Structure 1
Amino acid sequence: MRHIFILWLALAAAAPAQFDVQVRMERDVFLLYESLPVSVVLRNYSGRPLAINTAAESWLQFFITDDAGRQVPAVRALHLDEPLVIGPGQTVTRTVDLLPLYDLRQRGSYRLQGRVTHAGTTRLSPPVTFTIQEGRELWRQVAGLPGSDEYRLYSLIVRRALNEEILYVGVQDPEKKLVYGMLPLGAVLPTGDPQARVDPAGRVHVLYHTQPRSYGYVCVDGRAQFVDRAVYSDLLAKPRLVAAADGTVRVEGGEKTWPRVTSPPPNESPAPAPPAPAKPKKKWWWPFGPNEPRPPKLPAS
């Protein structure tokens, strides 16, 4: 019996890991230099936990080919040091941005597959396709960053989707030829070009028409990070970007609908309610006080 149990353990250890891998992208069309997030979905079909050694560089790989069948080379190694343990019958998802990892700097159509290796077993995902395209530039301006010799090239670019246009803010370093980001702002109405201004801090402010009676506002810094976001309505007045005498940029007009402006709480607690007035004392008609004997009543005649 003991030999049978040892043989069963050996067969279980030698059995191939039962898992499956899929790759998914939230959409199939991206703007040039836009982030390319891909979700890697792993499912454990076995009856025991699956612990993947994420420190190994070869546990997760991507194979990307262009429309001519040429493989896209990697420009940086993938590092996912977070432990990955998948329980029996469970599914986990990890998201990876392909843009800084592979040479995806040209427009065209691409084919993507993911490969996961664990305990000598390799699984290859079904392929997905995506397209990188260039947009239409609406505005650009070079601005210097205060306190440094660096410059930023800010741009507004529109990408045509099925039934709408998507607005992007691009942040680049023209001297070093670096792209810090291509940030999608959302759908924009073709009723007029968005407004854009750069403040003395080297940040760009953008006001754009998102839908009838609604305007979006963003402030983006030199590292392609959102500093502020808001939504305005033109119900009472049309919002617009204005610059003060010192160069600071603000939104004038309109009504801020998001985030809601709330009044700050009072600094002092409210004063306690005044005490209730004391009940008036009972008045005695007998002038000598309540404890003095009263005169007897006269008999009725």
Structure 2
Amino acid sequence: MTNRFLPLLALVLLATGASSQAQIRVALAAERSTFLLYEPMVITVQLANSSGERIVLNSGPSDRPWLSFLVRSVDGRKIRSEQPLSLDPVILEPGQSRLLSVDLTPLYAIRETGQYTVQASVQPPGRQAYLTDGLAISVGKGETLWTKSYVDGGSKRVVSLIRFMDRKDVSLYLRVEEPQENLVYSTVRLGKFVAFTSPQVELDAQRGIHIVHPVGARLYRYTRANAEGSVIQQEDRESGTSQPALAARPGGQVEFVGGVEQKQQTERPRLSELQQGI
């Protein structure tokens, strides 16, 4: 585990067998302690076998997951689970460690800004469940810089760009939602936000989303996302004889023009693929 996780660790030592030497260390961590409402809230669980024997973690006959989470608001209210966590068995040989990444956003109904505490519960086979100490996180609202709505299939869809500051950085986010249906398709971080600048946004004929915004001195980032807000492509260009910008083309198409290309365009992996850890 890298040093950036150390301030956020919540540790617990578990007895997982009849022998006092059969022990597993569990650490709960997050890269950040502050999140924008509805963005992926990825929690990392580190498991380490400090015993001299193999430890097998599985759901057992009851099908109850061996790993679960308890999320509470600052006033102690338990946040309900919206879908179960699907887990494969984990086998830890003596001295072996394992990292698991879990996105809590689709799993728990965190629908309000405020302070929350997250605990991991580990259920070794044949033993009682154990809770880690609480990991404190904060969920904020951010500032809407740009928004556009349109009707899709009878429902009003809203596309927004949001400025959000965590404890270290100010970032630009893209959110796509249908407020009347209480449905948020995505809340995705696009990169660093430079103060006193305005992003350029265009929707193409297929409702694809195109965004250009500064990420540094003379450096601009282009993002292309689909109608649900899933990022398909990102590219950085530096200002040269012309400034990078969006240009409308015939047929409702949008093109990224100008500037000096910093790297070749790449297809970006889906967020779900990047965060698969279980």
Shorter-chain TM-score tier: 0.7 to 0.9
Tell me, yes or no, if the aligned pair for 2:146 and 2:161 is still in contact at 8 Å.
Answer: yes
Q: Does 1:202 align with 2:236?
A: no
Distance 1:79 1:260 in 2: 34
| Aligned twin of 2:145 | 138
Return 5+ residue gaps in structure 2 as ranges.
1-15, 267-278
| Aligned twin of 2:89 | 83
Structure 1 length-normalised TM: 0.76
Return the offset for 1:221. 0.8
Q: Does 1:107 align with 2:119?
A: no
What does the per-residue CA deviation read over 1:129-159, in whole Å, with 9 as the maximum and x for residues that have no partner? 00000010011112456xx556532110000
Over aligned residue pairs, what C-alpha RMSD do you find?
Answer: 2.1
Is the alpha carbon distance of 1:54 and 1:255 closer, same or farther for their aligned partners in structure 2, counting shifts above 3 Å?
A: farther
Greater gyration radius:
1
Tell me, yes or no, if the aligned pair for 2:59 and 2:125 is still in contact at 8 Å.
Answer: no
Q: Does 1:68 align with 2:75?
A: yes
Return the offset for 1:57. 2.3
Distance 1:116 1:77 in 2: 15
SS of the residue corresponding to residue 250 of structure 2 reads: coil
Structure 2 length-normalised TM: 0.82
Q: For residues 42-53 of structure 1, what are the structure 2 equivalents within 5 Å?
A: 42-53=47-58
Distance 2:73 2:159 in 1: 29
Q: For residues 144-293 of structure 1, what are the structure 2 equivalents within 5 Å?
A: 152-162=157-167, 164-259=169-264
Tell me, yes or no, if the aligned pair for 2:73 and 2:116 is still in contact at 8 Å.
Answer: yes
Distance 2:226 2:90 in 1: 34
Distance 1:43 1:120 in 2: 19
Return the offset for 1:71. 1.6
Q: How many matched pairs?
A: 247
Return the offset for 1:40. 1.2
Match of residue 44, structure 2, among 39, 42, 60: 39
Return the offset for 1:83. 3.0
Distance 1:178 1:70 in 2: 23
What does the per-residue CA deviation read over 1:243-274, in whole Å, with 9 as the maximum and x for residues that have no partner? 1121101112111112279xxxxxxxxxxxxx
Flag the structure with higher strand content: 2
Distance 1:92 1:133 in 2: 31
Distance 1:221 1:83 in 2: 35
Distance 1:134 1:75 in 2: 21
Q: Percent identity?
A: 29
Tell me, yes or no, if the aligned pair for 2:121 and 2:132 is still in contact at 8 Å.
Answer: yes
**Greater relative contact order (CA < 8 Å, ≥ 6 in sequence):** 2
Distance 2:137 2:54 in 1: 33
